[in-house]
A and B are shown apart, each in its own frame.
Chain A
Amino acid sequence: QKEVEQNSGPLSVPEGAIASLNCTYSDRVSQSFFWYRQYSGKSPELIMSIYSNGDKEDGRFTAQLNKASQYVSLLIRDSQPSDSATYLCAVKTGGFKTIFGAGTRLFVKA
Chain B
Amino acid sequence: KAGVTQTPRYLIKTRGQQVTLSCSPISGHRSVSWYQQTPGQGLQFLFEYFSETQRNKGNFPGRFSGRQFSNSRSEMNVSTLELGDSALYLCASSLVDRSYTEAFFGQGTRLTVV
Contact = CB atoms under 8 A, between A and B. Distances in A.
A17 interface: no
Interface stretch (B13-21, B67-75, B79-87, B102-110): B102-110
A46 B102 contact: yes
B42 A102 contact: yes
B45 interface: yes
Contacts of B33: 98
Nearest to B94: A98
B35 A95 contact: no
Contacts of A90: 103
Interface residues of A, number: 23
A11 B108 CA distance: 26
Nearest to B48: A97
A39 interface: no
A13 interface: no
B26 interface: no
A100 B43 contact: yes
B103 A96 contact: no
A88 B92 CA distance: 14
Chain B at the A interface: mostly helix, strand, loop or mixed? strand
B102 A49 contact: yes
A56 interface: no
Interface residues of B, number: 24
Contacts of B104: 46
A9 B58 CA distance: 26
Query: Which of A88, A90, A92 counts the most chain B CB atoms within 10 A?
Result: A92
A103 to B, nearest CB: 6
The 5 closest A-B pairs by CB, nearest first: A100-B43, A102-B42, A43-B105, A97-B56, A31-B99
Given A36-B105, A46-B103, A98-B92, 8 more contacts: A34-B102, A44-B90, A51-B99, A90-B103, A96-B98, A98-B48, A100-B35, A100-B45
Interface of B: 33, 35, 42-43, 45, 48, 55-56, 58, 88, 90, 92, 97-108
26 contacts: A31-B100, A32-B99, A32-B100, A34-B102, A34-B103, A36-B105, A43-B90, A43-B107, A43-B108, A44-B90, A44-B105, A46-B103, A49-B102, A51-B99, A51-B100, A90-B103, A96-B55, A96-B56, A97-B56, A98-B45, A98-B92, A100-B42, A100-B43, A101-B42, A103-B42, A103-B43
